Structure 1
Amino acid sequence: MPTVLVTGASGYIAKHIVLRLLRAGYHVRGSVRDAAKAQALRDALATHLPDGQADTHLSTVTLDLLHDDGWTEAATGTDVVLHTASPFPMVQPKDPQELIAPAVEGARRAIRAARDAGVTRVILTSSVAAVSGCDLPPGRTTYDERDWSDPAYPGITPYSVSKTLAEKAAWDMVASDAPGIGLTTINPGFVLGAPLDGHCGTSLAVIERLLAARDPMLPYFGFTTVDVGDIAEMHLRALQRDETIGQRLIGVADFLWFTEMAEHLARAFPDRKIVTRRAPNVVVRFLGLFDPAIRSIVPALGVRTDVDASRARDMLDMTFRDPRDSLSDTAQWLMDQGRV
């Protein structure tokens, strides 16, 4: 079976991708930023695989998004480069370059490494953040793969800028410097679902905040959501289907307001005191003066963002899981782990 280089393999989504690849019989070379994470990655996967497969089919390398060392060597001998590595913070940094530089430079290094190693297939994990940060043309109410976020759009976050510029950098490189590479991007919404180990993503911290009833009221704010397993499956199917070359593929199941998420959790876990009351926007703006996590969502208050995932459903034969079930799984995992 082919060998796939998965960058950022210890990440929340990436571990699910690696698991799908290993279960499908692929050999995986996973990159980690810190060599100490390699054993934790193997341990997380081993509990979900037949005995020994995490040792026989998985190897690891150490790569840094901001340094060239080892990238071409890591891609050499592989058949596909699957680039997932990119920072995703809970709180937006004061200096946007903390996110933009590693995202953009990492995307360029992944494409360059594939080209120099003779790899002709790259799958890049982008985001709907690279799609929906713009005004829609007149007459349209739903975003799709034709749309690109505008880094100068009012209220756009550094994270959205980083994902936009990184994805554009990858497409630009393929068009100019690496025309032999077949590129596909996967653009997930807000990802939910139980992680494979205790090293979980930023999206789970949002659910942890709900379960802990950390806020007396909830902002009028929402997400396009999707299950982590569905996003992992999209990566697997994309690399298996040549018709996805040159395509952006959005992965979302539904839009959920924050209050909808809270109300679902309150019904699913009636023993927990979960806040469901919505805060007036003026109150949220005031709280944002003191809480950076709240401050980052103020520009999106009351804004519903509908995103069309029909291309992924048609091209990849995807049936997306109800994100409410993913939300329940996330909450149950957090409680089982004693995190709330």
Structure 2
Amino acid sequence: MSDTVLITGITGFIAKWVARDLLKAGFSVRGTLRTAAREKEVRDTLTAEGADTSGLAFAVADLTSDKGWAEAAAGCRYVQHIASPFPLNQPRGREDLVPGARDGALRVLKAACDAGVERIVMTSSMVAMTYRANRPRHLVVRETDWTDPDWPPCTPYIISKTRAERAAWDFMTDRGLAGKFTVVNPAFVLGPAMDKDSGTSLDAIALIMRGTYPALPPVHFPIVDVRDLSRLHVATMTADVAGRRLIGAGETWSLKRMAGELRAAFPAYAAKIPTREMPAFFVHLLGLFDRPVRALRADMGVVPVADSQETTALTGVTFRPAAEAVRAAGETLIRFGLV
């Protein structure tokens, strides 16, 4: 079997970094796309980032359809399932994102298992670990923690990531193949993007830099730089971590602290960047009309801190300071004219 790695959703913010790092490490990469029309764009982007794209190939497959997945996985030694829906504007129905995330994951896992791959790495999220009733204000999040998707404050995105990961573990366990499966649970992903396809996390930073809101919701998030997250995905593929969940996260910062870092780093934007936090009651009120703000109500009153010691001990991957990730995100948005 060749050292070919299937990456789902290769046009994505995280997936392009994983593809770059795998190509630089000497692996061949086969990336899935919903349309072949984007092949040249992806190849050019990765070439500009210093990757030798002679080992890059593509397969057309969509998470909403069975078509193409068997062919995409055939002959691959590893699978990196990274693609999943993450809209900034949450849909109205609590379960609306579940079919795309859960059924898409199961399509990829079935194709990978049928192809006899050696290791499957799936990108989930820390949101599948963090949300449930009666949380302490200072919440230490560990690999054994699970979100309760039936908890009323959970958003459609939180629900979809949790149900998709649960379904994936059930599928692999039922097949007796959990020992070939590892899940990476990243935090709020910032850092540099390779192109304008910058990911929803950077869209949130763009809202801050544009001054979309006069004040910021008083919420906190663990942060991971996409470059460290990519290194974690690559390390997870060959490290002795099968059958485990791995947290990908560094420091926890509030949106207000992120805004302060952006003001200091980019003085030309300082006048637009808010300096104050919204009162809690106003967040709830604004959330009645504003979906991005509504999605943050589940984060009110809790400071989640990621315990990533196990991840570092098992993979050797460490996480750079949040300030570096925040500044790199701002630089990306300015570079590509997104703010």
Q: Give the TM-score band, short-chain normalised.
A: over 0.9
Matches within 5 A, 1:2-151: 2-49=3-50, 53-54=52-53, 56-135=54-133, 141-151=139-149
Q: Measure the CA separation in 2 of the matches of 1:214 and 1:37.
A: 31
Q: CA deviation at 1:98?
A: 3.5
Q: Measure the CA separation in 1 of the matches of 2:110 and 2:214.
A: 49
Q: Measure the CA separation in 1 of the matches of 2:117 and 2:334.
A: 43
* Amino acid corresponding to residue 256 of structure 1 in structure 2: W
Is 2:269 the counterpart of 1:268? no
Q: CA deviation at 1:178?
A: 4.9
| Deviation sequence 1:122-141 (CA, Å, 0-9, x none) | 00001001111124789x94
Comparing 89-98 with 191-200, which one deviates more in the overlay? 89-98
- Maintained 8 Å contact 1:122/1:181: no
* Amino acid corresponding to residue 40 of structure 1 in structure 2: E
- Maintained 8 Å contact 2:246/2:311: yes
- Of 236, 240, 245 in structure 1, the residue corresponding to residue 242 of structure 2 is 245
Q: CA deviation at 1:286?
A: 1.9
| Deviation sequence 1:240-294 (CA, Å, 0-9, x none) | 21x1101100011011111111111112222321211111112222222221111
Q: Measure the CA separation in 2 of the matches of 1:78 and 1:298.
A: 42
Matches within 5 A, 1:157-236: 157-179=155-177, 182-236=180-234
Aligned to 1:299: 298
Over 3 Å off, 4+ runs: 135-138
Q: Measure the CA separation in 2 of the matches of 1:158 and 1:164.
A: 10
Q: CA deviation at 1:208?
A: 0.5
Q: Measure the CA separation in 1 of the matches of 2:309 and 2:68.
A: 38
Helix, strand or coil at the partner of 1:224: strand
* Amino acid corresponding to residue 280 of structure 2 in structure 1: N
Q: CA deviation at 1:106?
A: 1.2
TM-score normalized by structure 2?
A: 0.95
Q: Measure the CA separation in 2 of the matches of 1:136 and 1:239.
A: 36
Q: Measure the CA separation in 1 of the matches of 2:195 and 2:254.
A: 27
Q: Measure the CA separation in 1 of the matches of 2:44 and 2:102.
A: 30
Comparing 150-159 with 92-101, which one deviates more in the overlay? 92-101
Matches within 5 A, 1:271-286: 271-272=268-269, 273=271, 274-286=273-285
* Amino acid corresponding to residue 253 of structure 1 in structure 2: G
Q: CA RMSD in A?
A: 1.8
Is 2:242 the counterpart of 1:254? no
Helix, strand or coil at the partner of 2:262: helix
Give the share of equivalent positions with the same residue, in percent.
Answer: 39
Helix, strand or coil at the partner of 2:110: helix
Helix, strand or coil at the partner of 1:8: coil
Q: Measure the CA separation in 2 of the matches of 1:177 and 1:294.
A: 41
* Amino acid corresponding to residue 237 of structure 2 in structure 1: L
Q: Measure the CA separation in 2 of the matches of 1:95 and 1:137.
A: 25
Q: CA deviation at 1:164?
A: 0.9
Q: Measure the CA separation in 2 of the matches of 1:110 and 1:181.
A: 17
- Maintained 8 Å contact 2:135/2:302: no
- The size of the alignment, in residue pairs, is 336
Aligned to 1:338: 337
Q: Measure the CA separation in 2 of the matches of 1:271 and 1:82.
A: 39
- Maintained 8 Å contact 1:111/1:178: no
Q: CA deviation at 1:203?
A: 0.5
TM-score normalized by structure 1?
A: 0.94
Q: CA deviation at 1:96?
A: 3.7
* Amino acid corresponding to residue 42 of structure 1 in structure 2: R
Q: CA deviation at 1:42?
A: 1.0
Helix, strand or coil at the partner of 2:86: coil
Which runs of 5 or more residues in structure 2 are unaligned? Answer: none
Q: CA deviation at 1:97?
A: 3.9
- Maintained 8 Å contact 2:247/2:307: yes
- Maintained 8 Å contact 1:115/1:178: no
Aligned to 1:287: 286
